[in-house]
Structure 1
Amino acid sequence: MDSPRRVAIVGSARIPFARSNTAYASVGNSDMLTAALKALVDKFALRGQKLGEVAAGAVIKHSRDWNLTREATLGAGLHPHTPAYDVARACGTSLTTTIQIAQRIALGEIDAGAAGGVDTASDVPVVYGRALNAAVLQSARARSLGERISPWLRLRPRDFKPSVPAVVEPRTGLSMGEHCELMAKEWKIGRAEQDALAYQSHVNATAAWKEGFYDDLVVPFAG
C-alpha cells in the first residue's frame, strides 16, 4: 500500500457563539451552517467550485433538516455536484467530520473538502405524542372526507400536549453537566480548581479577541 498523502487544514470560518434564546433565537441550524460555509466559500473564492466532499451536521435538528449539509452546501454557492453528508456526534461532530475528510484526502479518494458542525438549543424540535402523530399520518393518507376526519375524533386533550426535547442522555436522564459533576467527584476535582480553569479560559479568549486572533476566523451573523 502506498504511503498516505499529507493532509493540511488551510483555512476556516465560523460565526460567533451566542447564548441560547438570545441573538440566534429566530434562526436554525440550516441558517447558521449555511452562513459559516458561505463565509468559507467567499474567503477562498470557491463559488461554483466542486469539492471532493463536504461533511457536517447537528445533534439536535428538525426532521425538515434531514439533508442539512447538502442544503447548506447548495446555499453556500459550491458547485451542485459537490457531495455532502450529515454526521451527528454529541460535542464531536466537527472533529469527526474533519477526521473523515482528512482520511479521504490521505487515501487519495478526494483532493479537498470541507468539514464542520452546528447546533442550537434555541430552535429545538417540539414534538407531540404518538396518538397525534398517528392521527396526522392517517388523515393525510385518507381517501374520503370522513376518513380524514375520523382520526381526529379519537384524540383526547392530553394528545395535544407538546414535549420539548431535553438534552439529556436517554439511558441515565442526566445532562452533560450532571455527568461532568459525577466525573469531578470521582476524580476529586474541586470547585476552586474548576473555577480557576474556567476563569483562565475566559482571560485567554478575551486576550485573543483583543489581539485580533479571531479577525480572520469569525464572520458576522445575525447582527
Structure 2
Amino acid sequence: MKKVAIIGGLRIPFVKSFKEYNHISNQEMLTFCLNGLVEKYGLAGKRLGEVALGALLNRSTDWNFARECVLGTALDPHTPGYSVLRACGTSLDTTIQLGLRIACGQIDTAISGGSDTNSDIPLLFQQHLAWKLADLRAAKTFSQRLKIIASIRLKDLKPLYPSIVEPRTGLSMGQHTEKMVKEWGITREEQDALAYRSHMNAAKAYGEGFFSDLLLPFKGVKKDTIIRADTTPEKLAALKPAFDFSGNGSLTAGNSTLYTDGASALLMASEEYAQQQNWPVLAHLVDAETAAVDYVNGEGLLMAPTYAVARMLKRNHLKLQDFDIYEIHEAFSGQVLCTLKAWEDAAYCKKLGWEAPLGSIDRSKLNTKGGSVAIGHPFAATGTRILAQTAKILQQRGSGRALISICTAGGMGVVAILER
C-alpha cells in the first residue's frame, strides 16, 4: 500500500449566507478554488488521476457537478471528475475515497473538495404542479392543454424551499441537538464557553497569519466574516434560544453554526509522486471510518462519530489520548460536548465495543485554530477545510497525530486520522 500524502488545500473565505456571495453558484465558488490549486501547484494542462467533489444544496441541472467544475479549470480536460454526497461529511468522504485509490496504486494524484451556498438556493415546484406541467408538455391537443391549465390552483404555485430537517422526524438538526444536550446534561454555560473559545482561537490564528496561505480572496472578500474577535461570554449569554422557544432551550445563534456560503479543495498524491514533483508533504492520511446511529428510535442524531472513532481506534491499536490535535466539527457546541461526555461514560462505551470508557481529551488540543462555530459551515466544504487546516498544524509542529471527526445529517459520522 502506498502512503497517501496531503499536499495542500485552499478555500475561499467563509461568509454568512445571503450577503457577500449572494446569487453566486456552488460551481463558480468551487471552480475558483480548483483553479487556485492548479495555479499554486503548477497543474495547468496536467491530467490528474481523479477529482471528487460535492455539494448538498445543488441545482438539479448540476447532475454532473464535479466534472463541470473540472472543465472550468486549466486542468487537462482528460481529468475525470465525479460527485459525492454525504451531508456535512461530503468533502472528508471525497478525500477518503480518493485516498484509498491512491493507496492501492490506481492513481497518483487527486483533488477532493466541496461547496455549499444558501444564497443561490434551488427552489422547487410543488410536486402536483410539476406533474401538471409535465402533462401539459405531453398533451397532444389544445383542449387537453386547456384542461390541464384550468386545473392549476394558486396553492400549486407556492415554491418549495429546501429545509434542513430530518425527513423521518420532521425535526431540524438544532432541535435534535436540543434533545441530545438535555439527555447528556450539557449546560448553556458549557456550550457558550466552547463557542467563545472557538472564536478566540480563530481570531488568534488570523492574528498570527495562520490562514494566509489557506485562503483565496473571492469577490472582494479577503477573510472569513463570521469570526467575532470582539465577542465575550456576556454577549453570548445574552442571546435567545434559536431552536426551542419553550424557555428550556440552550442552543443559540452564538453556540451554533450559522448558515454559511463557501468552498474548499484539497490536493493529494502518493508519496512517490509528491517527491517527483518536489511537493512538500504536510501530512499523511492514515485511516478513516464511517458510522450511523438509529436516531429515529432514540439515539442522538449527531452521535455517530462516537461509534466511528471507537472502531477506528481499536483497528489502529490506539487510545483516544494518543493524539496531539483533535479537530471535531462544531455543528453545535452542544454536539461536541455530548460526544466528549459520551466517550467518558462507561455504559455508553460498552455499546461502542469497549470494556472501559475511552476517556477524556486534553481540551487545549481541541480545534486550536477555531472550529465551525467561529469559521462557518458551508456543509460540503467543511471536510476539506478541516483537513487542510489540520495538515498545516501538523506541518508546523513537525510531527504528530490528529483525529478528525465530522457528524452529518441522517445520523451519520465520518472520521479520519492524519499523521506527520
Q: Which one has the bigger strand percentage?
A: 2
* Structure with higher RCO (Cα < 8 A, 6+ apart): 2
Residue equivalent to 2:99:
102
Q: 1:203 to 1:53 in 2, by over 3 A?
A: same
Task: Specify which structure has the higher proportion of helix.
Answer: 1
Q: 1:141 to 1:49 in 2, by over 3 A?
A: farther
Within the alignment, does 1:164 sit opposite 2:161 as a pair?
yes
Q: Structure 1 residue 134: deviation in Å?
A: 1.5
- Residue 74 of structure 1 corresponds to which residue in structure 2? 71
Q: How many percent identity over aligned positions?
A: 51
* Aligned equivalent of 1:24: 21
Residue of structure 2 in register with 1:220 after alignment: 217
Residue of structure 1 equivalent to 2:302: none
The structural deviation recorded for 1:90 is 1.4
Segments of structure 2 that go 5 or more residues without pairing to the other structure are: 221-420
The 3-state SS of whatever aligns with 1:10 is strand
Query: Structure 1 149/82 Cα, relative in aligned 2: closer, same or farther at 3 Å?
Result: farther
Shift of 1:145: 4.9
Runs of 4+ more than 6 Å apart: none
Instruction: Report the equivalent of 1:128.
Output: 125
- Give the paired residue count: 220
TM-score normalized by the length of structure 2: 0.51
Q: In structure 2, which of residues 32, 35, 40 is the aligned counterpart of residue 35 of structure 1? A: 32
**Could you give the per-residue CA deviations for residues 34-54 of structure 1, whole angstroms, max 9, x where no partner exists?**
111111111111112111100
Pair 1:193–1:49, CA change in 2 (3 A):
same
Q: Could you tell me which residue of structure 1 aligns to residue 85 of structure 2? A: 88
The change in CA–CA distance for 1:172 and 1:146 in structure 2 (over 3 A counts) is same
Q: Deviations over 1:17-61 (max 9, x none)?
A: 011111111212111111111111111111121111000111121
Q: Take 1:111 and 1:125, find their aligned partners in 2: how far apart are those partners?
A: 36
Choose 93-102 or 38-47, whichever is displaced more: 38-47
Counterpart of 1:48? Answer: 45
Shift of 1:146: 4.9
Equivalent position amino acid for 1:180 in 2: T
Of residues 211-220 and 153-162 in structure 1, the stretch that sits farther from structure 2 once superposed is 153-162
Deviations along 1:181-207, whole A, 9 cap, x unmatched?
A: 221111111111111111111111111
Are 2:172 and 1:175 aligned? yes
Gaps of 5+ in 1: none
Question: TM-score with structure 1 length normalisation?
Answer: 0.93
Cα RMSD, aligned residues only:
1.5
CA contact (8 A) 1:55 1:87 kept: yes
1:50-103 CA distances to partner (integer Å, 9 max, x unpaired)?
Answer: 111000111121101111111111112211111111111111011000111101
